[in-house]
Amino acid sequence: MQAADRPDPADFARRVRARDLVVGYWITLDAPFATERVARLGYDYVAIDAQHGLLGHSGVLHGMLAVDCGGSAGVVRVAANDPTAIGHALDAGARGIVVPLVNTAAEAAASVRSAKYPPHGVRSYGPMRSGLRVGPVPAQADEQTAVLAMIETADGLANVEEIAATPGLDGLYVGPSDLSIGLGGAFPGDPAVQEEFDAALTRVLAATAAAGIAAGIHTPHGDVARQRIEAGWTFVTVASDVVHLENAAREHLSTARGRA
């Protein structure tokens, strides 16, 4: 995709709030050059995983630099629902944050407060790198950054309607692996809880539609991403760097040994 044909990353938060379709990619490795190459492919956003990814704060910062060079919008899944973790991600230049393990409306409200400057929140002013691209006036920064809460536990699902209605929250984001386990699965994607899992997705979609916010979900590959988009999800991530690296290496090894 040519740069002139791509949406402006500065428009990312508005598009999320408008429930426009945004398709992204997931980064877990501290490899800025590879991240930049992915960001050049045409994904609307590239998300850096600061919770389970193999990188620290410097890795998040370098990832944001790489994503900006590639022309996508940078998103960070923060390590925790914590003002410091959220502030670090935003100061590094994230245009959106994904907050894990949100179980109640009060926890969702806390994540929003951590991401917003006074009078709407408690974010400390020190936009270091982000001020070059986002804001830097507090009201502008608040408008130009999106906040999504993860629904990945039984408690989060039980409270999903109240969470979705949280003022200032821009979307929900389903973590399928944890949600599957939270619903009683022995492992991510356990077919024994498939019916319950499908019902949970339907409930999350309904909650986001009622609240007028984005419906986000992680997917293992493009085929599932396409299915989710057709079902009405508007914020969809496709797999991750480490998964694709492993899959490609396995496929090439199999071909080389004549097992294809």
Sequence-distant (6+) residues with CB within 8 A of 112 are: 120, 121, 147, 166, 167, 168, 169
Q: How many CB atoms lie within 10 A of CB 225?
A: 20
My answer on whether omega of the bond before 138 falls inside 30° of 0, hence cis, is no
- What residues are paired with 173 via a beta bridge? 150, 216
Task: Say if CB 182 and CB 116 are below 8 A apart.
Answer: no
- What is the spatial distance between Cα 27 and Cα 29, in angstroms, rounded to a whole number? 6
DSSP 8: P
Active-site residue, from 52, 120, 218, 244:
52
244: annotated active-site residue: no
Sequence-distant (6+) residues with CB within 8 A of 68 are: 9, 39, 74, 93, 133
Element of type H or E holding 67: helix 57-70
Sequence-distant (6+) residues with CB within 8 A of 211 are: 161, 164, 165, 169
Q: Which residues are catalytic?
A: 52
